[in-house]
Chain A
């Protein structure tokens, strides 16, 4: 709750400075999400204040879309086909710069906020955030693979839309909740807050946070990747130690 108060305070300080056009002040409840050994997900709050001249408030109010995008990476999508009685991965398409996490939060369904072309242009929504496949070999562009990618990530809870997760606390002041799942990938996340009025973009802000491993998890993961040989030897020695201890504990004679 203190974060809400902070956002209000921020708004109060900034209000007199921004006199004329519509401007946007936003804040995140945290910019670092540490993964501890009991990490099962995290909720991050986004606060925003839309400032405008006293009389310039649009009569049907504002719409807010918060787009959260996880670290991007290259992805291979494979399709199973039948070979005799078996089902094997045969066909594949490669994609680059695919966000590992996409969450689109808004105060009402996106279709009601802006036209499809506008959303496509501004990259608002899950589909516009997924680049088309890269040209590999002579593989023809097959929309099924892209749809498969989107479907699988959605099932894993990594891609989702929440048209009711942005709440206006009062006119011009809003709050949103980013629900990070336990399997949220590590890395830098971009948060884009876009304010619409009458179907057009009126203000936009960029924020970000980082999901990091801490303490033991970080140490283990780092050791495994940076000193992999040593890590392997240490793990093997530990296994021998556990086995030896067990034989001491359970020795029957």
Chain B
């Protein structure tokens, strides 16, 4: 029924055309919130109008001809087939238009490229399938994953309309101060990704093994959203970017609190089974679900199943060691705090939705750095 209604609305939209409820749609490029993004917007509009003008002239001539010079109106065909003057004119005029367009374009390009004299640097690493931000020289370093609500909705089929900022929200946004020139350095850990926030006016590829640079200076405090724009595998569509621009004092407060939280030691006190499972589920949804899937079935040929896996359901110590060490195919999860690791191990061994039922609990204290050679 819902489908039919939507289909109906869609057909209506298609017939009524562009006027309908313009407020809900963006038809044009966004202007953005930086000087460069505004320059780019102006260039975009300039070329757009040039194209519209040429289009009207050419198509106008064509349609005039199609109406007047038709056989059914008794028009007799002329027999001309060349005219050197006309041909030279319509070669030279486009050339002049192109040169006129190239001049402002060159200016903006040079401006975009100038990463000199920045106030701060942030290293951005693209990974399958999240972003890793490192505020160089401050010690602040965190991962930014798709938020839990969107993650859940796109996996279990719940209605995306109920999720705020569906697929455009993250757990840890990138926070930047307004009015400062921020230099970004981009790289990737596995495959090529591309970092794009339309409001900043540009995107830049993150290439594994290489460094790319770009810069921005946000003039207006606010929240700006974007996405990965280079196909990077299964969950390419599910690694958004959120940038929050704050006034300098707010930014400094955020930086200090983030640093403090980051340096906090893991709480190693025992947790109830319920606490372990809840926390474990959250850790699983952030770190594991992309490959091993929401039902633990993995993806045949790509990622092994956790459901019924001997490794998951076997001895504790080898499993802890395996997660800490990683393999050539699976990254190391030594980055997880001991209480997170304990919770997620408890979860994968006991979650009914993953089909495992070992019946034990692993407490944070049980996590010791044991490495397994496997």
- Say whether A and B bind each other: no
User: A: which residues have CB within 8 A of B?
Assistant: none
